[in-house]
C-alpha cells in the first residue's frame, strides 16, 4: 500500500498569509495526486488534480506542485473562506488519502 | 450539474448488514468515462476510500479492508450501492458516494461528492 503523510497536522495562520502544506508519499506516485478542501459537516471539494492542475472554479490563489514523493499545496493569500481541513490523495495505485491538515485562525 | 445523494438506514445494529444507495442525477452511471465510488470518514478522522465500480460492473476495492464490502450498479435507476456485512462499532462513519475520473484503466480523483450520511453502529 502507498502511505500518504501530510505536514503539518495543524497550521495556524492569519488572513493574507501565504500557506504551504506538504504531502509525502511512501513511494513514487509520479504526478498522480489530488488535493481537497473540507469544511465541517460538508463533503470534500476537489481543488487540484494531477499534482498541479486547478479544478474549474477554484480560485487561482490555490496552487499545487511536486512529483515523485513530495508535493505541496500553496495558498498564496489566505482568505476567510479558506479556513478548513485539506487532504491529499494519491491515485497511482488504488487510492489513499493523507491524514489531513487543519488550517485554523491564528 | 452532477449531483449525488446517499440514502440508507439511520442506525445499524452490530453483526447486521449495512446497505447504502447513491442516486445520481445530471450524469449517467452508464457513462464509460467515470467510476462510481464509496469513501468513508470515521468521526473526527480522515478519509478512507472503500471501493469503486465502473459502468461495466468492474470493481476495485481497498486492499487494506477485509472483503466485507460489495458495490453494485442499478443502471435502470441510475443508482449504485454499497453493502457491508457483519458491521461493528468500528464501521460507524460518515459514508460518501462520489464520482471518480478514470486514470488509465483504474480510478483517479473524485470530482463530485454526495453530502454524506452518518451511519452509527450501535445496539
For every residue of chain A, which 3-state class applies, written as one string? CCCEEEECCEEEECCCCCEEEEEEECCCCCCCEEEEEECCCCCCEEEEECCCEECCCCCCCEEEEEECCEEEEEECCCCHHHCCEEEEEECCCCCEECCCEEEEEC
**Of the listed ranges A14-28, A31-45, A46-60, B99-113, the one predicted with least confidence:** B99-113
- Contact status of B46 with chain A (Cβ, < 8 Å): yes
Residue in chain B lying closest to A100 (CA) = B46
Residues in chain B with CB shorter than 8 Å from the CB of A97 are 46-49
Q: Across the interface, do A91 and B108 touch by the CB < 8 Å criterion?
A: yes
pLDDT for A90 equals: 97
Q: Across the interface, do A99 and B46 touch by the CB < 8 Å criterion?
A: yes
Q: How confident is the model at residue A25 (pLDDT cuts 50, 70, 90)?
A: very high
d(CA A1, CA B72): 24
C-alpha cell at A74: 500553496
A13 pLDDT above the threshold of 90? yes
B32 pLDDT above the threshold of 90? no
Q: How far is CA B51 from CA A21, A69, A94, in A?
A: 27, 24, 9
Residue of A43, A85, A99 to mutate when probing chain B, most B C-beta within 10 A: A43
Q: Across the interface, do A42 and B115 touch by the CB < 8 Å criterion?
A: yes
A49 pLDDT above the threshold of 80? yes
CA distance A80 to chain B (A): 22
DSSP letters, B12-42, are B-TTS-EEEEEEEESS-TT-TTEEEEEEEE-
Q: How confident is the model at residue B54 (pLDDT cuts 50, 70, 90)?
A: very high
- Contact status of B65 with chain A (Cβ, < 8 Å): no
Q: How confident is the model at residue A6 (pLDDT cuts 50, 70, 90)?
A: very high
pLDDT for B106 equals: 81
Mean pLDDT for B67-72 is: 91
B105 pLDDT above the threshold of 80? no
Nearest to B107 among A36, A45, A91 (CB): A91
Mean pLDDT for B28-51 is: 94
pLDDT for B10 equals: 81
Nearest to A1 among B64, B101, B109 (CB): B64
**Percent of residues, chain A, with pLDDT higher than 70:** 100
Amino acid at each position: 500500500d502507498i502511505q500518504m503523510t501530510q505536514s503539518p497536522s495543524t497550521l495556524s495562520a492569519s488572513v493574507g498569509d501565504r500557506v504551504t502544506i506538504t504531502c509525502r508519499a511512501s513511494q513514487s506516485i509520479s504526478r498522480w495526486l489530488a488535493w481537497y478542501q473540507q469544511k465541517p459537516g460538508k463533503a470534500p471539494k476537489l481543488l487540484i488534480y494531477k499534482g498541479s492542475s486547478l479544478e474549474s472554479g477554484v480560485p487561482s490563489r490555490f496552487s499545487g506542485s511536486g512529483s515523485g514523493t513530495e508535493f505541496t499545496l500553496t495558498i498564496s493569500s489566505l482568505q476567510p473562506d479558506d479556513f478548513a481541513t485539506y487532504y491529499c490523495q494519491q491515485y497511482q495505485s488504488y487510492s489513499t488519502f493523507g491524514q489531513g491538515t487543519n488550517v485554523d485562525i491564528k | 450539474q452532477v449531483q449525488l445523494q446517499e440514502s440508507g438506514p439511520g442506525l445499524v445494529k452490530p453483526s447486521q448488514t449495512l446497505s447504502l444507495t447513491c442516486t445520481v442525477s445530471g450524469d449517467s452511471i452508464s457513462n464509460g468515462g467515470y467510476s462510481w465510488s464509496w469513501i468513508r470518514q470515521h468521526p473526527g478522522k480522515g478519509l478512507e476510500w472503500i471501493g469503486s465500480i465502473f459502468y461495466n460492473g468492474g470493481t476495485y476495492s481497498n486492499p487494506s479492508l477485509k472483503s466485507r464490502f460489495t458495490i453494485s450498479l442499478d443502471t435502470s435507476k441510475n443508482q449504485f450501492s454499497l453493502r457491508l456485512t457483519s458491521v461493528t462499532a468500528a464501521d460507524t462513519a460518515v459514508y460518501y458516494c462520489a464520482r471518480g475520473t478514470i486514470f488509465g484503466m483504474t480510478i483517479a480523483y473524485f470530482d463530485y461528492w454526495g453530502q454524506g450520511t452518518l451511519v452509527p453502529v450501535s445496539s
